[in-house]
């Protein structure tokens, strides 16, 4: 076969179909629409069956921990009658140390069931370690493709740390430089090996996260007598937020507010060789959070099962310095040393809790393992080596992505910034109109878009009319 970039990309739909065992054309509807719930049902398992699959490999049933010392600090910083209780779902207790085991467990089970000899995932994050771990448990081979280096061969310490974890579980790790070649190499390897595509964005992967929301709902009710008032979820590609929200609803917690949180890296281009090592967070930031919310089908499958605008009630941003501070806070006063991804949502929860009544309950839906490359010391040292100033002060006023990381001089300076969800919806529609070159949609397409954006017809029409073509 011709394995040039253009030829491989032209074969992507054929490659995907063979590597997942799902024909996405079955879900397509006329025009722009597709049947999302029908696609999710292709996971083929009820939430009880998924829990059983995960239990077989030691995934799930992680503890829900009240952060009592942090909660005392929250109360001290809040006005009288305010200061919600914060609980954290300790997903570090999963086999490879993150919630990603939930996604990987179902993909590995499906791959084994369908007779694949191995699985492949393209990821620079914890998912690689999860896939490697679950593949080992199922006797499958695994390959992880990482976007790891800039053009000078310099790798981000957190990504290097995760590569070590993948290799420890027996996976072959393919490391490439930043740029469009990631998807190309991923497709090429799928075609050459005939392995299963353990994409983060298949219905199997998202269904695997539903048990997280299910457990949070039931554990919170058992500990507090009610479902959580809010769940804060670190938002990158949208999988954990989508899966958690769906699980909450299936457990009956339909009134629980789902809040997405990302590190604000505005101004840094994620595909830029120059900017690649200017960021101190490899995931959970706006470079993923905003593009994946506004155009979810940019993923490595024809239709992305992570569609966060269907579920996210509120979206907030925090700074790099604030997350580093909260990471140290969690270790120093709660005795829990955890990695940066979960601490992004914990940072947001710390600020949000101060504006919630004291009888409210807010749950942070994940922790992750930490290691040499993930620690604040490694990240801040790397930032200094890349010419970034590290200082203390007011991060909301002084943090400047790619130039300055500001550590709060006092916990009272940890303040989230609201990012209007309607702006994400408007951006979604602007891109959709641009791709399809039309502003008139059928009644079926309107219904689909209302579901997709979680709004009514009147609001949708207002957004469409406000978009400048």
Mark which of 399, 418, 437 sits at the end of a domain. 418
pLDDT in tens, 15-24: 988 999 888 9
Q: Is residue 103 included in any domain, yes or no? A: no
Identify the bridge partners of residue 142 per DSSP, sorted by sequence position: 119
Together in a domain, 215 and 347: yes
Determine, yes or no, domain membership for 10. no
Is the Cβ–Cβ distance between 284 and 236 less than 8 Å? yes
pTM of the model: 0.96
Residues 41-50, mean pLDDT to the nearest whole number: 89
Residue 261's Cα: distance from chain center in Å? Answer: 10
pLDDT of the residue at 444: 96
Nearest to 54 by CA among 232, 218, 214, 233: 214
The pLDDT of 177-185, averaged and rounded, is 85
Distance CA 361, CA 186 (A): 42
Residues 313-348: pLDDT tens digits?
999 999 999 999 999 999 999 999 999 999 999 999
Give domain status of residue 198, yes or no.
Answer: no
Claim to verify: residue 411 and residue 451 sit in the same structural domain: no
Backbone angles phi, psi at 272, to 5 degrees: -90, 130
| pLDDT > 90 fraction of the chain, expressed in percent and rounded | 86
Q: Mapping DSSP to helix (H, G, I), strand (E, B) and coil, where does residue 354 land?
A: coil
Residue 101: pLDDT over 80: yes
Residues 432, 403 share a domain: no
Q: What is the mean pLDDT of residues 260-274?
A: 92
Q: Are residues 377 and 445 in the same domain?
A: no
Q: Is 74 inside any structural domain?
A: yes
| Structural domain total, the chain | 2
User: What confidence score (pLDDT) does residue 23 get?
Assistant: 87
Q: Do the domain assignments include residue 135?
A: no
For 124-153, the pLDDT digits (tens) are 889 999 999 999 999 999 999 998 899 999
Give the mean model confidence (pLDDT) for residues 398-423: 97
pLDDT band at 180 (very low <50, low <70, confident <90, very high): confident
Q: What is the CATH number of the domain that holds 358?
A: 3.40.50.1100
Do both 454 and 375 map to the same domain? no
Q: Are 256 and 248 in contact (CB under 8 A)?
A: yes
Q: Are residues 232 and 274 in the same domain?
A: yes
In tens, the pLDDT along 294-313 reads 999 988 888 999 999 999 99
Please check whether residue 392 lies inside any domain of the structure.
yes
Residue 438 and residue 376 share a domain: no
Distance CA 383, CA 402 (A): 9
The answer on pLDDT for 78 being more than 70 is yes
Say if 384 falls within a structural domain: yes
Predicted confidence at residue 22, as pLDDT, reads 86
pLDDT value at residue 183? 85
Strand order in the sheet with 361-364: 64-66, 85-89, 361-364, 230-234, 257-263, 314-318, 417-418
What is the pLDDT of the chain when averaged over all its residues? 95
Point out the least confidently predicted range of 125-134, 248-257, 273-282, 454-463: 273-282
Q: What's residue 468's pLDDT?
A: 75
Of 396, 418, 440, the position where a domain reaches its end is 418
* Contact call for residues 308 and 290 (beta carbons, < 8 A): no
Residue 241 and residue 351 in one domain:
yes
When pLDDT is cut at 50, 70 and 90, the band that residue 469 belongs to is low
Check: CB of residue 163 under 8 Å from CB of residue 240.
no
pLDDT at 21: 85
Interval 93-109 mean pLDDT: 97
Helix (H, G, I), strand (E, B) or coil at 182: helix
C-alpha–C-alpha distance, residues 433 and 229, integer Å: 36
Yes or no: say if 256 and 244 are a contact pair by the CB < 8 Å rule: no
Task: Indicate whether 46 belongs to any domain.
Answer: no
Q: Identify the pLDDT of residue 457.
A: 97
Question: Cα separation of 246 and 244, whole Å?
Answer: 5
Convert the pLDDT of each residue in 424-467 to its tens digit.
999 999 999 999 999 999 999 999 999 999 999 999 999 999 98
Residues 375 and 451 in one domain: no
User: Looking at the structure, do residues 246 and 357 belong to the same domain, yes or no?
Assistant: yes
**What is the structure's pLDDT at 395?**
97
> Does 225 share its domain with 291?
yes
pLDDT of residue 418 exceeding 90, the answer is yes
Residues 296 and 411 in one domain: yes
Mean pLDDT of 375-391: 95
pLDDT attached to residue 181: 82
Residues of the domain holding 444: 421-466
Q: What is the pLDDT of residue 43?
A: 76
């Amino acid at each position: 076969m011709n394995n040039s970039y253009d030829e491989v990309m032209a074969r992507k739909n054929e490659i995907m179909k063979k590597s997942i065992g799902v024909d996405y054309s079955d879900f397509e509807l006329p025009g722009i629409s597709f049947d999302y719930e029908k696609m999710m049902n292709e996971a083929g398992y009820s939430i009880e069956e998924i829990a059983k699959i995960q239990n077989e490999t030691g995934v799930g049933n992680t503890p829900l921990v009240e952060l009592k010392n942090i909660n005392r600090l929250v109360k001290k910083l809040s006005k009288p009658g305010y200061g919600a209780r914060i609980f954290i779902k300790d997903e570090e207790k999963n086999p490879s140390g993150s919630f990603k085991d939930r996604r990987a467990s179902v993909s590995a089970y499906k791959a084994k069931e369908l007779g694949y000899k191995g699985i492949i995932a393209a990821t620079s994050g914890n998912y690689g370690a999860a896939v490697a771990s679950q593949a080992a448990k199922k006797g499958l081979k695994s390959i992880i493709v990482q976007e790891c280096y800039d053009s000078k061969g310099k790798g981000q310490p957190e990504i290097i740390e995760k590569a070590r974890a993948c290799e420890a579980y027996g996976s072959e790790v393919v490391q490439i430089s930043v740029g469009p070649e990631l998807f190309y190499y991923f497709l090429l390897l799928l075609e050459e090996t005939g392995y299963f595509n353990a994409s983060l964005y298949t219905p199997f992967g998202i269904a695997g996260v539903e048990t997280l929301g299910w457990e949070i709902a039931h554990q919170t009710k058992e500990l507090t007598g009610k479902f959580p008032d809010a769940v804060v979820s670190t938002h990158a590609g949208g999988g954990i937020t989508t899966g958690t929200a769906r699980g909450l609803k299936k457990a009956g917690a339909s009134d629980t507010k789902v809040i997405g949180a990302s590190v604000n890296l505005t101004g840094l281009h994620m595909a830029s060789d120059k900017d690649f090592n200017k960021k101190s967070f490899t995931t959970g930031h706006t470079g993923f959070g905003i593009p994946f919310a506004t155009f979810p089908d940019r993923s490595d499958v024809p239709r992305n099962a992570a569609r966060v605008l269907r579920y996210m009630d509120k979206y907030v941003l925090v700074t790099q310095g604030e997350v580093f501070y909260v990471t140290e806070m969690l270790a120093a006063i709660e005795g829990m040393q955890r990695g940066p991804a979960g601490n992004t949502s914990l940072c947001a929860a710390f600020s949000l809790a101060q504006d919630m009544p004291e009888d409210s309950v807010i749950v942070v839906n994940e922790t992750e393992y930490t290691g040499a490359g993930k620690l604040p010391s490694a990240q801040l040292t790397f930032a200094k080596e890349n010419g970034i100033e590290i200082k203390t002060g007011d991060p909301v006023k002084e943090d400047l992505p790619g130039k300055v990381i500001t550590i709060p001089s006092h916990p009272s300076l940890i303040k989230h910034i609201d990012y209007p969800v309607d702006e994400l919806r408007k951006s979604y529609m602007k891109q959709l109109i641009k791709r399809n070159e039309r502003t008139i949609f059928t009644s079926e397409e309107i219904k689909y878009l209302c579901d997709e954006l979680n709004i009514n017809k009147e609001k949708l029409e207002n957004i469409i009319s406000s978009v400048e073509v």
